[in-house]
Amino acid sequence: MSHRTATTATIATAFSRDNSLNFLRLVFALTVVVVHAWALGGFGLVRIGDYDPASVAVDGFFVVSGFLITRSRLGVGGTARFLWHRTLRIMPGFWASLLVVAFLCAPLAWRHERGSFDGYPVTGPHGAVQYVLANSLLRVRFYDVAGTPSAVPFPPPGSGIPIGWNHSMWTLYWDALCYLGIAVLAIFGVIQRRRALVAVVTACLWAVVVLRELAPGYTPGPLGGVFAGGVGRFVLMFLAGCVLYLYADRIPLSGKLAAGCAAVLAVSMFLDDPHILLNLPLAYLCIWLGIRLPLHRVGAGHDFSYGLYIYSFPVQQLAAVYGVQRHGVVAYFALCLSVTAVAAVLSWFCIERPALRLKSWTPRQVRHGRARRRAGHGRARRRVRPPGPAEALSLDARVSPGSRMEES
C-alpha cells in the first residue's frame, strides 16, 4: 500500500512567472479611471460603505508593488542597478505626462477659456516650465498650470482641494520612497537575512494606525496628517506585500483564507479608517488572486496600467473644461476612456518600453573599470601554480601538530 504525504501549497511553491498580477494592476488602473471619471464629470461619488473603490485600487497597487519590488531587489545584483531599474520604470513616463499637461492640456484649456493662446505663461510662477521643473522629482509642488483648469466640477467648491490637472500623481512620490526604503533595507541585509525585522516594523505601523483611530488624543504630533496620508497607508500596504514575499515559504495558499480576507475587507469598508483591518487581508487577497486567476497572459507583454493611471486624470479634466459631461455620463466616460487608452498605449510603446531597454546599460567608466579588474584577476590566476612535491612537504611541515587544515 502506498502512502501519500499531503503537502500544503504555499505562496512560494505556487507563485511563478505565469501569474496574474499584471492583470490585477490593469484592473486597479481601470477602477481608478472609472471612479475618478464619475467625480470629475460631476456625477457624484462612488462609495463602498465609507470608502471609495479607487482608494482600494491604489492600496492594491502598493501591495503588488511591495511584493514584486522585494522580489526584484533580491534578484538584482546591486543597489545601484536596482534603483536604475526603478527609475527607468517610473520617471520617463512621469516626465512625459508632465510635458503633455504643460504643453498640450493646459494650453487647450487656456484657449477654450480665453478664446486664444495669447498670454499663455510658458515661464513664470505656475507657468508651464515651472510646472514641469517643480514637479519633476515626484514631489508635487502645485497641480495647476496658470490657473487652469477652471470652471470644472472637480474640485467641488469649498472642499479645500486645490484646482489641478493630475491629483493622481501624488501617490507616485510615496511609491518612490518605498523603493528607496527597500534599497536601504537591502544594503543592511535586512530583507536577505532578517526578515523578522520587516514583519515587526509592519506590525508596529499597523498598531499605530489602530492607536490613532481608537485614541486620537494620545497620538503624538508626528503621527498626524503625514502619517495618516502616507506612512500609515501607502508604506504600510507596501510593507504588507513585502512581508508576504519574504514569508512566502511559510504562508499557505488557501481559498478559505482568501475568502476570510475578502470578508474582512468588506467589513473594513464601513469603518472610519478601513486600514485598521484591511492591510494584510487585502494584501493576501491580491496575491492569492494573482496566483489563482488564469489570466497571466493579460499584460504579460505590454503593461498599460501605468499609462492609464497617469493620464486618466488630465484627460478627464480637459474633457470637463470643454463641457463633455453635459452630454451625459455615457458620452463623457466613453470619450475619456478612449483618449486615456490611446495615451496609455502611446506612453508604453513610445516612452516606457524604450526606456526599459536601457536596464542593462552601464556607464563607460564603470565598464572600463570592471574590464581592468577582470583582466587583473586573470593575470593573477595565471601566475598562481600548484605547489610542487617539495613545496607541499614544506607547507605541511609548517602546520603545527595541534592545528588542522580545513578541507575545501
Question: What mean pLDDT do residues 279-299 have?
Answer: 94
pTM: 0.86
365 touches 372 (CB < 8 A): no
Amino acid type, 255: G
| Residue 175 pLDDT greater than 70, yes or no | yes
Report the pLDDT value the prediction gives residue 50, as an integer from 0 to 100. Answer: 75
Question: What mean pLDDT do residues 9-32 have?
Answer: 94
Report the pLDDT value the prediction gives residue 46, as an integer from 0 to 100. Answer: 87
Calculate ∠ Cα 26-28-29, nearest 5°.
65
Strand, helix or coil at 217?
helix
Alpha carbon separation from 79 to 1, 67, 184, 358, 399 (Å, rounded): 53, 17, 8, 16, 42
- Specify which residues 10 forms β-bridges with: 252
Question: What mean pLDDT do residues 130-141 have?
Answer: 96
Cell of 332: 463623457
Report the pLDDT value the prediction gives residue 262, as an integer from 0 to 100. Answer: 96
Alpha carbon separation from 281 to 175, 249, 318 (Å, rounded): 20, 18, 37
| Residue 282 pLDDT greater than 60, yes or no | yes
Give the residue among 59, 112, 101, 103 at the shortest CA–CA distance from 285.
59
Cβ-based neighbour number of residue 108 at 10 Å = 16
pLDDT bracket for residue 213 (50, 70, 90): confident
The per-residue pLDDT for range 68-79, each reduced to its tens digit, is: 999 999 998 899
Report d(CA 183, CA 80) in Å as an integer.
Answer: 9
Between residues 18 and 92, which one has the greater pLDDT? 92
At how many degrees (to 10) do helices 53-75 and 21-40 cross?
Answer: 150
63 touches 286 (CB < 8 A): yes
* DSSP codes, 51-113: B-HHHHHHHHHHHHHHHHHHHHHHHSS-HHHHHHHHHHHHHHHHHHHHHHIIIIIHHHHHHHH
Between residues 386 and 362, which one has the greater pLDDT? 362
| Residue 388 pLDDT greater than 50, yes or no | no
Question: What mean pLDDT do residues 304-329 have?
Answer: 97
| Residue 403 pLDDT greater than 50, yes or no | no
296 touches 23 (CB < 8 A): yes
Between residues 204 and 380, which one has the greater pLDDT? 204
The per-residue pLDDT for range 230-260, each reduced to its tens digit, is: 888 899 999 999 999 999 999 999 999 999 9
Q: What is the mean pLDDT of the chain?
A: 87
Report d(CA 261, CA 253) in Å as an integer.
Answer: 12
Report the pLDDT value the prediction gives residue 159, as an integer from 0 to 100. Answer: 87
Buried b or exposed e, range 18-52, using 16+ CB within 10 angstroms: ebbbbbbbbbbbbbbbbbbbbbbbeeeeeeeeebb
